Structure formats: C-alpha cells, structure tokens
Amino acid sequence: MKIHVKAFGKLSDGRQADIIVIENDNKSICKLTNYGGIVTSWTVPDKHGNMVDIVLGWDNIEKYIEDSSYLGAIIGRYGNRIANALFSLDGKEYKLAANQAPNHLHGGNIGFNKVLWDYSLIDQPNEKGVIFRYLSRDMEEGYPGNLNVEVTYRLTNHNELIIDYKAATDKKTHVNLTNHAYFNLNGCADDVLKHVLKIYADHYTPSDKTLIPTGEIAPVKGTNLDFSEKKAIGERIKKMDIGGYDHNFVLNKQPGAFELIAEVYEPRTGLKMDVFTTEPGVQLYTAIHFDGSMTGKGSVKYKQYYGYCLETQHFPDSPNKPHFPSTIVNPWETYSQKTVYKVYAQ
C-alpha cells in the first residue's frame, strides 16, 4: 500500500488544500481532499480488468468551492433537513440558516463540506488513511457547543473505504454526520438506472412536499421504494412523483449495530458495492437535480440520475421528532459512527 500528498489548490484566503492519494495492493486508488473532507475519486478494477472511477467529482478545487451538490463531501453538523430551520434544546430555541427554504439542509450556508480540515496521515504497512479534524465553534451555523470533529478514512486491501466519524462537544447539541459521495459503478459517464439495488429496509419515513418527514414510519411493501428484494434503480424511478429517489430508509437492523445495509450491482462492469453502517437510516438520492449543466471530471456532463448516494445517517428532522432515534450529543458522550463502502468485481 502507498500514500502520498500533493497540492490541490488555494482557497480565496490563500490557504492551501491538499489531495491525499491512497493506493492499495490491488491498484485501487482513493483520492481525498482536506477541503470539505471530500472523496474526489476512487478507482477500482472491474471484471474486465479496467480501472473504473466510481465517484463523481470535479477536476479542480475551484469547482468544489462553487459546488452546491455536495459532491463527495462530509456533511455536518446535521446531514439532511431540519424543519423550518429551527429546533429547541432544554427550552432554548436555536435558529439555523433556512438554506433550502423553509428548511435547513446539510449543515447550513457553510457546512462541513465547505471548510478546510486539518489532517494527519495513517501510514502503517497494512493500513493507510487520513484523519480529518475540524473544530466547529459554539454557535457556528447556529448550533450550540464547541464541537471537535474527527473523520477518518481508510482504504484496505479488500477495497473497503472505511469512514469513522467521531465528535465531542462542550454543550448539549445535535450531530448527524454523513458522506455525500455520488457513486456510479459504470464509470460516471452514464446514468445509474441499470444498477441493481437492495436496501435492508422494510420501512421508510414518508415526507411532505419540502421533504420533511411526517413522523410516520411506513412499510415500503407495495410502494416504489421497495428495494428489500434486488431491483434495478430505473425500474420504477419514473413513477416517483418527485422525479426519482430522495428518501430516508429505516434500516431493519438495531440502531448502533454495524451491519450490511445495502448492495448495489452494475452488470456491465460487474462491480458490486456493499454498504455497512452503524447508523439507523440511509438516504437514497439519485441525483434528481442534475440536468447536464455541470461538467464533471473528464469533461463529462452530469445529467439526471448519473449518480446514486447512499447517505448513512439518522433520520431527517430528528431534532423535532422525539420518537426518532436521537441525534443529541451530550458533553459527557462521544459521538461515534462507522460506515464502510466495499467495492469489488463479480
């Protein structure tokens, strides 16, 4: 295994962002930048022996700075939506940015996807990775508590990208971290409608028109959201009234248990992705809003459905839904979650 660092580019204030390049013994290469803790590319060998980049992204830092689609990034403090950009903790109201009016989305105006993280490398003979660190100050983006966040990415020789999320606060707060990589197991130059998906979820959280959960936990059976048996993503996507999938699935496993929660398979490359997590939910997002106006890596125009996200997470709007698994973190606790994406040819 190998790891090295190169310069990526400068932010408007002159600070430099780097790219960390990790290569395993199978020649799988994962590239990450400390700007936004973003996975910029991940190449894996497919069943024909071709190297396939399975992560959508940009060629340069300027595009990531402009990006409003969260490509590859760490999302925080709160991945997904908080209704009316408002929550209360111990009788005190906290007003957040309504950056997707009327709601708060993915941490606000300057979420964890838009900050420069400190980092150190993990450079052991059989373990290569990077630890990103960021101190989110008390009341940053309206959230209480100084929050020390640590996100560790490791690439293994089994083509696993392991993401460990840790956070500690000095005041009671809400935390819901995730990664927003858009994957495409056919090399990112085509849509993902032929990908075959299974999600280990018999339920989901129905939502209103602004994608805030109604609070109900409903069965997927009999709906177009039933991926409990393998189905092509494209099979029923056109029947979705919002134009595709942008839904939170309630995973069958016990919250906290680390288990396989989703499988994706692309017949043309034979690439298979297994997703494991400790989280209770996963947001399936199928790049509904892509319309060909964004030009990604290799001059590819990203059109609708060119990627899928499986954002492992707590449920949307948990701060306002006391019956959902709690996203509260107290000063005496350590927030800790783990997600693994494993990709191999079949």
The residues carrying an active-site annotation are: 180, 311
Q: How does strand 104-105 pair with strand 81-82?
A: antiparallel
Which residue number, 22 or 75, has a Cβ lying nearer to ligand BGC? Answer: 75
Tell me how crowded residue 102 is: count the other CB atoms within 10 A of its CB: 11
Furthest C-alpha separation in the chain: 59
- Interacting span for ligand BGC (CB under 6 A) from 12-20, 57-65, 117-125, 281-289: 281-289
The tokens describing 102, both together, are: 């009327």
CB 281 within 8 Å of CB 207? no
> How far apart are the C-alpha atoms of 124 and 128, rounded to whole Å?
6
Task: In angstroms, give the least distance from the CB of 70 to ligand BGC.
Answer: 5
The tokens describing 147, both together, are: 């929050």
Task: In angstroms, give the least distance from the CB of 211 to ligand BGC.
Answer: 6
* 85: three-class secondary structure by DSSP: helix
Which residue number, 285 or 315, has a Cβ lying nearer to ligand BGC? Answer: 285
Per-residue mark of binding to ligand BGC, 200-239 (x: CB under 6 A): -----------x----------------------------
Which residue number, 171 or 303, has a Cβ lying nearer to ligand BGC? Answer: 303
Asked if residue 283 binds ligand BGC (CB under 6 A), the reply is: yes
The tokens describing 207, both together, are: 């939502």
List 40, 69, 169, 269, residue binding ligand BGC (CB under 6 A):
69
* 66: three-class secondary structure by DSSP: helix
Residue with tokens 């980049």: 53
Residues 325-344 that bind ligand BGC (CB under 6 A): none
Which residue number, 3 or 192, has a Cβ lying nearer to ligand BGC? Answer: 192
Residue with tokens 């990112």: 188
Total residues contacting ligand BGC by CB under 6 A comes to 8
- CA contacts within 13 A on the Cβ side of 253: 17
Residue with tokens 């130059």: 189
Residue closest to 217 by CA, chosen among 264, 180, 257, 249:
249
Which residue number, 45 or 316, has a Cβ lying nearer to ligand BGC? Answer: 316
Task: In angstroms, give the least distance from the CB of 80 to ligand BGC.
Answer: 6
Task: In angstroms, give the least distance from the CB of 176 to ligand BGC.
Answer: 12
> How far apart are the C-alpha atoms of 206 and 223, rounded to whole Å?
11
Per-residue mark of binding to ligand BGC, 29-58 (x: CB under 6 A): ------------------------------
Asked if residue 269 binds ligand BGC (CB under 6 A), the reply is: no
Which residue number, 148 or 320, has a Cβ lying nearer to ligand BGC? Answer: 320
Per-residue mark of binding to ligand BGC, 285-314 (x: CB under 6 A): x---x---------------------x---
> How far apart are the C-alpha atoms of 167 and 331, rounded to whole Å?
10
Residue closest to 201 by CA, chosen among 283, 122, 125:
283
List 70, 276, 306, 308, residue binding ligand BGC (CB under 6 A):
70
Helical (H) or strand (E) element with 65: helix 61-66
Asked if residue 136 binds ligand BGC (CB under 6 A), the reply is: no
Which residues are near ligand BGC by CB under 6 A? Answer: 69-70, 211, 246, 283, 285, 289, 311
